């Protein structure tokens, strides 16, 4: 039976006008120079720098890992939907892989209402629909809950075999620092000057640690600075996957932006960072 996950954030977080959305994505991908939770108005341009790295020709499956903002689970949850809809085209869910993952006994299922309430993976869907236009690709959406370190490592090990298949692509969803009293986070190191400079230094420290591919170092960074990176669990799972897979993969950040520049303690901002992870061989098969 067909179960469609609606593009529930279209019309609010990004435009639901197919022509306008297509034009926006085209523009951002071109501007990336690659051959606030106000959605795309802030994050869309930044995301283009990562999605512009994708070569869709040899990819047949996209794993989507996104954090859970509204629904508490200490595990990872799989979708019950058969189709993920976007204003510019639908993406079929790979149910063979969903069943394979479910058979491990390590995953929960999320109801369609939970799925549609969550924006983290949906924000990647129009880009995927755009980049993979004309190609047969299926998606494997995985909602990553509030995992402890042991579970991050366990899911990383479990998913690592999929990372070794060059036909698979991984898309990891996360914002970076959410700064301000409304986010209950006001870390400020005055040695960097203005508040927004301190936020950038903090974010870049985290980005450099992620680039090393070391999940333990990333965990230590989060414990020390408590940076409000909403996708810390999906990122940690991905770093654990790198540790366990046999393919050598190198992560490189390609873009960093802030929704606004904080200058006083009354201000607030959300940071956005895009990275592309590529197979570290002369052939350079590409993953995100």
Q: Yes or no: say if 199 and 227 are a contact pair by the CB < 8 Å rule.
A: no
Kindly state whether residue 288 falls inside one of the protein's structural domains. Answer: no
Q: Yes or no: say if 254 and 275 are a contact pair by the CB < 8 Å rule.
A: yes
pLDDT tens track of the chain, all 288 residues? 778 777 666 666 566 777 777 777 677 666 655 433 333 344 445 556 666 667 888 899 999 999 888 888 899 999 999 998 888 888 999 999 999 999 999 999 998 888 888 867 877 788 888 888 888 899 999 999 999 999 999 999 999 999 999 899 998 888 899 999 999 999 999 999 999 999 999 999 999 999 999 999 999 999 999 999 989 999 999 999 999 999 899 999 988 999 899 999 999 999 998 888 888 765 444 444
Q: Domain residues for 29? A: 4-279
Q: Yes or no: say if 154 and 236 are a contact pair by the CB < 8 Å rule.
A: no
Q: What is the pTM of this model?
A: 0.82
Identify the CA nearest to 14 among candidates 83, 93, 110, 88: 88
Kindly state whether residue 216 falls inside one of the protein's structural domains. Answer: yes
Kindly report the CATH number assigned to the domain that includes residue 21.
3.40.830.10
Kindly state whether residue 140 falls inside one of the protein's structural domains. Answer: yes
Q: Yes or no: say if 7 and 86 are a contact pair by the CB < 8 Å rule.
A: yes
Kindly state whether residue 287 falls inside one of the protein's structural domains. Answer: no
Kindly state whether residue 286 falls inside one of the protein's structural domains. Answer: no
Kindly state whether residue 252 falls inside one of the protein's structural domains. Answer: yes
Number of domains forming the structure of the chain: 1
Kindly state whether residue 193 falls inside one of the protein's structural domains. Answer: yes
């Amino acid at each position: 039976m067909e179960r469609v996950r609606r593009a529930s954030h279209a019309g609010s977080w990004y435009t639901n006008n197919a022509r306008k959305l297509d034009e926006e994505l085209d523009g951002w991908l071109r501007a990336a120079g690659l051959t606030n939770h106000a959605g795309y108005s802030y994050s869309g341009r930044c995301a283009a720098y990562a999605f512009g790295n994708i070569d869709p020709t040899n990819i047949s499956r996209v794993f989507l890992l996104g954090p859970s903002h509204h629904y508490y689970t200490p595990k990872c949850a799989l979708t019950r939907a058969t189709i993920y809809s976007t204003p510019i085209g639908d993406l079929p869910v790979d149910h063979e892989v969903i069943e394979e993952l479910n058979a491990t006994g390590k995953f929960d299922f999320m109801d369609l209402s939970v799925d549609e309430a969550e924006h983290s993976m949906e924000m990647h869907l129009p880009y995927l629909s755009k980049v993979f236009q004309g190609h047969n690709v299926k998606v494997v959406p995985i909602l990553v809950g509030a995992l402890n370190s042991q579970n991050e490592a366990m899911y990383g090990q479990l998913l690592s075999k999929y990372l070794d298949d060059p036909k698979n692509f991984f898309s990891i969803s996360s914002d970076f620092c959410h700064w301000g009293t409304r986010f209950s986070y006001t870390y400020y190191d005055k040695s960097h000057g203005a508040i927004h400079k301190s936020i950038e230094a903090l974010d870049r420290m985290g980005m450099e640690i992620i680039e090393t591919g070391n999940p333990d170092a990333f965990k230590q960074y989060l414990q020390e600075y408590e940076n409000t990176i909403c996708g810390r669990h999906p990122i940690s799972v991905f770093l654990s996957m790198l540790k366990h897979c046999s393919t050598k993969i190198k992560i490189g950040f390609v873009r960093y932006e802030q929704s606004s520049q904080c200058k006083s303690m009354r201000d607030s901002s959300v940071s956005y960072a895009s990275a592309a992870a590529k197979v570290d061989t002369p052939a350079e098969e590409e993953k995100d």
